[in-house]
Structure 1
Amino acid sequence: MSQRVKKCIIIDDEPAAHYVLAKYIEQSPSLELVFQGYNGLEAMDYLKDNKVDLMFLDIDMPEISGIEMLQKLDNPPRTILTTAYSEFALESYEYGVLDYLLKPIYHPRFVKAIDRFLELEATHLQTEAIVEEVTDTIYVKVDSDTIPIEVNSILYAQSYGNYVKIFTVKKNYLATITTNDLEKMLPSSHFMRAHKSYIVALDKVDEVMKDHVVIKRNPIPIGITYRRELAEKLKHLIKN
């Protein structure tokens, strides 16, 4: 399965870091550099209206740090952190970063990080292809068992740290899975993120309010970055 060229951005307050990373990206046929920003606020503005696959993000920047930026983004792209300070490594992985590159960044280490990124992307493409073929049932790990859940029975799902609580018409399941991975298992035509911590079944939405939707009398918040797409998908679903 061939992969399209991945769009990436660089966010760093050091021009020298931009020079090195841009040069490495130019040498990578799988990557396309689409934006360069020098602080987190620039990046957040860009990401509001543009979807990217990969972000090279510095940690120590003025106004807002890389970690603070990740905290504020509802649905950040895959992220490789770039910094001269190794003490931030452990904290950074709490935010689901893909890799951590210490400055000065050497090309072999950069290539290793990109190979890992592309491998993950290929795995997710394969998962999506399987989901398109079989959408009636998903399998998730609950306690020590792997159980089937009928897709059309799912109402919504909520993130609980390293778990996701899946609410269905009959019962609820606390599954050992990330929200990102669950989202990829579900057909995008009928499910989407309403918030960084919630996935909703579009055809199960009973009411749409300004800042939340209602499913079976349960209010589910809508993140500002998902509001427009959610409204469009619900409108399309109603028309059909």
Structure 2
Amino acid sequence: MQVLKSETAVINDKIEQFDESIFLNVGKQIQRISLKSIQYIKGYGDYMKVQCQDRSHTVHITMKNLVKMLPSSDFYRVHKSYLIRLDKIVSLTKSYVMVDKTQIPISRNNKHELLSLIPLVK
């Protein structure tokens, strides 16, 4: 497998993409996290809470840099503070999306684009 080169800003944040996972600088160690295990990401300024199926990780990185590392076909930014994995959506309303048992707000500007990204039977 080949390590993909990324932008300098992202390298400075100690994140690299490797196959179907990313390496995150969590506390005093670098942990490999499967992209498929990520349910959503919540931003707290320059820190992100990466919520996986079994646990969460707090990482020091900006949302902007993290978005650059994740495949846009799998992840979508539904709100300024939230990024979700599209295949983890359980349901949605006009104001929020359910990912597992968590209610995540959808900004008005992003709702129509989100609807175009999911397979909707009318």
TM-score tier (shorter): 0.7 to 0.9
If the length of structure 2 is used for normalisation, what is the TM-score? 0.81
- Corresponding position of 2:27: 143
Deviations 1:110-163 (A, max 9, x none): xxxxxxxxxxxx938xx9xx85xx441101111122111100000000001220
Q: By percentage of residues, which structure has more helix?
A: 1
Unpaired runs of 5+ in structure 1? 1-121
Counterparts in 2 of 1:135 and 1:229: CA distance versus 1, 3 Å: farther
Indicate whether 1:174 and 2:64 are aligned: no
RMSD: 2.1
Residue number in structure 2 paired with 1:117: none
For the structure 1 residues 217 and 179, does the alpha-carbon distance in structure 2 shift closer, same or farther, using more than 3 Å as the test?
same
Runs of 4+ more than 3 Å apart: none
Residue aligning to 1:234: 118
Corresponding position of 2:39: 155
- Structure 1 contact 167–173 (Cα < 8 Å) conserved: yes
Could you tell me which residue of structure 2 aligns to residue 186 of structure 1?
70
SS of alignment partner, residue 149 of structure 1: strand
- After superposition, residues 10-21 of structure 1 pair within 5 angstroms as none
Tell me how far apart the structure 2 counterparts of residues 203 and 234 of structure 1 sit (CA, whole Å).
Answer: 9
Which structure is larger by alpha-carbon Rg, 1 or 2?
1
Q: Which has the higher strand share?
A: 2
Q: Relative contact order: is structure 1 or structure 2 higher (C-alpha 8 Å, sep ≥ 6)?
A: 2
Aligned match of 1:222: 106
Q: Please tell me whether the aligned partners of residues 135 and 187 of structure 1 are also in contact (alpha carbons under 8 angstroms).
A: no
* Matched-pair identity in %: 32
Deviations, residues 7-26 of structure 1 (Å, cap 9, x unaligned) = xxxxxxxxxxxxxxxxxxxx
